[in-house]
Amino acid sequence: MAVSLGLSARILVNLESLNMAESVGNVTRHRKAPVVVEGEDGEYKLIYVPVVSGMSLAHHYQLHLARAAAESGLNVTRLSLEGYFLKFSDDDVIKNHYPEVHGKLRKGDLCHNEKVLVEACTVADVGGFLYTNGPIKRQSRFSFSYMMPTLDSIRSGAAGVYPQLHVRYTPQAREGEQALIYVDNASALYTLSFLLEADAISRLDVCSALGKSPSSLGEEERIKRFDAAVKALVAMLGNMAYGAKRSRSMPHWSVESLVAVAAEGLAPFVPSPGHSRNYIVDTLNRVNSQARAGIIREWKASFYAPQDLEKPSGADEAKTIEDALKAVAEWALEKLKP
């Protein structure tokens, strides 16, 4: 049975430049993406809205994970601590950047090499990697959606991007020394989703497929790495510690609501994205439906909703997002224990 921890949230963010896509002349543009929205007339239309990519979110999550792992005394490579997630790649990269594993790999011994690489770095374990000289491919144990405006806010027109003028100024105003710079700022009620496949942490997929031992780094190591993964998530969401251009564009933000679900079942459970105000209730309806269908065996849900949202029964209401995540993480932790 799969043990998972998933969440969805609605986050109000004003005046942010968290994810920039390109520079055209003296204009730095915010990342946008196409979204299909149903209009009041029932017709669907395509519009472009500001977004923060899942890759950007994943980068910052892995940086927090590296720090949480090091703080807990878990293995983490120096490169991951510095925020460079090459994650082994090939023999040349290992030789030049990963003294932690250089010289420890055996040509052709996939199970041994997988164990060495997974054991060497908690970030590579949880975040996945591709070692091409093996080859060994490890699927990421966590997933992030794009952070995008909620559909209900898009329909009401409450999402936008506008360029802000900045000037580089010199006293004598010499030609070429002064410059006009435009940077896109966006404001929206965003939603994001996250999933962590807790039972897959520390598992050695290649060794398992080959029928060789060991099949994991052990239950104790899995529990410690899961705990670090949760701490990284709490630190990231609780402080909005992600995104670019924060030194002069630190956004105004608040987590409007959040639902978190830990589940044990045939497949990891992903909460409903927060595109409408009833997404928490919809999430709990789906959990109960899958439980009745035998897909989910057991589950624990917690939510944070200080706004006037429709609130479900069968889930704990938390006073903070940290409390909501702690409640489901503790439940999942018990499921991971032997």
Q: Is the dihedral of CA 142, 143, 149, 150 positive or negative?
A: negative
According to DSSP, the β-strands at 316-317 and 296-304 are parallel
Convert the pLDDT of each residue in 186-218 to its tens digit.
999 999 999 999 999 999 999 999 999 999 999
pLDDT of residue 173: 67
Residue type, 167: V
Q: What residue spans define the domains of the chain?
A: 2-19+52-145+189-336
Convert the pLDDT of each residue in 63-93 to its tens digit.
999 999 999 999 999 999 999 999 999 999 9
Which pTM does this prediction carry? 0.95
Convert the pLDDT of each residue in 253-271 to its tens digit.
999 999 999 999 999 999 9
Residue 337 has pLDDT above 80, yes or no: yes
Rounded to an integer, the average pLDDT of 158-169 is 92
